Amino acid sequence: MTKNKSNIVKVSFWERNRKSGGYVLKKKLMDIGVSIARFILLFGLCFLILQPIFNKISVSFMTEADLYSPVVISIPQHFTTENYKMAADVMNYSKGLVNTLVISFTIAVVQIVVCTLVGYGFARFKFPLKSFWFACVMLTILIPPQVISNSLYLHFKFFDILGIIKLIKGVPLNLNGSPVPYYLMSAGCMGLKNGLYIYMIRQFFRNIPNDMEEAAYVDGCNTVRTFFTIMLPEAKPIITSCFLFAFVWQWTDGFYSKMFLGNTTLLSTSLARLVDGLAAYLMRITGVQTSVSVAFSNCILATGVLMLIAPLIILYLFAQRQFVESISASGIKM
């Protein structure tokens, strides 16, 4: 049995263009133009995002003389790493790094645990005033935390549970200055961005078909077992996304950290006090009271910013694949 092989005749580009009346050439030029425009747009966006970071990296390796030198623009003339040592000493970087890592991780875990339970409840169960309570969740996203800062401060300064603590000790507890208020707020879904996490998790669970739960109920699973064995594994993408968001936002948070964790050395709060502590640090090591120039203060501040975000960049380099996959699977529009 033989097969007839047809000869494939290759037609040149210009021949196809001639037969199409110039359409092939126009389409090719249009595709090239779109590609060039897309490249220019993406390059411009990347430059706008990365250029400030590159400037901070360049400034962080400059001496004070380079900052005022008219010939130095981006490349340091006298390369130095003393700025990083100075910023680390003023910020107490090693201690702040450990404390920030522990608090950011534990707070993120608490937030995601409670937000997953609440989001699942809003997505799957019916209870009285469900729409009202979900509207309250939306209000936690819309209302700035500064609006309720005074109430939170007074609440935890005179903390009591139904008058029981005052009855036993005679006075309420003052929880301010410790991590306890922040953990209590996170456990009560009132922490940083908790309303957003509840909304994201609720939307994810609503997109899962009810047939999966009904099949589990038919097989004899109760509600709790169905949640942990069926629904929770399906929610890994959105839980991963929310956990990374919670960790990063907590890492750079300054409002709640300063309000509740003021006595704890954190990178975000140390960065806010970096410029103020620079003059005292220089006087301590030199023994002479000197004024710090604005340019040098900004140089040390830029160095501190880089030291603050460096762990997050390293985290992203290791977790970028899983993070992108979780974003794609959860359907979040970036």
Q: Could you tell me if residue 162 is left (phi over 0), alpha (psi between -120 and 50 degrees) or otherwise beta? A: left
Check residue 213 and give its pLDDT: 79
| Residue 227 CB partners (closer than 8 Å, separation 6+) | 120
pLDDT at 116: 92
Long-range contacts of 225-228 (CB under 8 A, 24+ apart): 227/120
The pLDDT value given to residue 333: 45
Question: Cβ atoms within 10 A of the Cβ of 14, count?
Answer: 10
Q: What kind and span of H or E run contains 152?
A: helix 149-157
Closest to 101 measured CA to CA, from 238, 231, 250: 250
Nearest to 303 by CA among 314, 315, 295: 295
Cα distance between residue 254 and residue 312, in whole Å: 16
Give residue 212's pLDDT: 79
Q: Among candidates 189, 184, 194, 187, which has minimal Cα distance to 249?
A: 194
Structural domain spans, the chain: 2-50, 82-330
181 class by beta-carbon count within 10 Å (0-12 exposed, 13-18 middle, 19+ buried): buried
Residue type, 55: N
At the topology level of CATH, where does 82-330 sit? MetI-like fold (1.10.3720)
- The burial of 300, by beta-carbon neighbours within 10 Å (0-12 exposed, 13-18 middle, 19 or more buried), is given as buried
Q: Residue 334 and residue 332: Cα distance in Å, rounded?
A: 6
Task: Map residue 10 onto helix, strand or coil.
Answer: coil
- 98, 117, 116: which is closest to 106 by C-alpha? 98
State pTM to two decimals: 0.79
pLDDT string in tens for the chain (334-residue length): 444 545 555 667 777 777 777 787 888 889 899 999 999 999 888 888 888 888 888 888 988 888 888 888 888 888 888 889 988 988 888 998 999 999 999 999 999 999 999 999 998 888 888 889 999 888 888 888 888 888 888 888 888 887 788 888 888 888 887 788 888 888 888 888 888 899 989 988 888 888 877 888 887 788 888 888 888 888 888 888 888 889 988 898 888 888 877 678 888 888 888 888 888 888 887 777 777 788 888 888 889 999 998 888 888 887 777 666 666 555 544 3
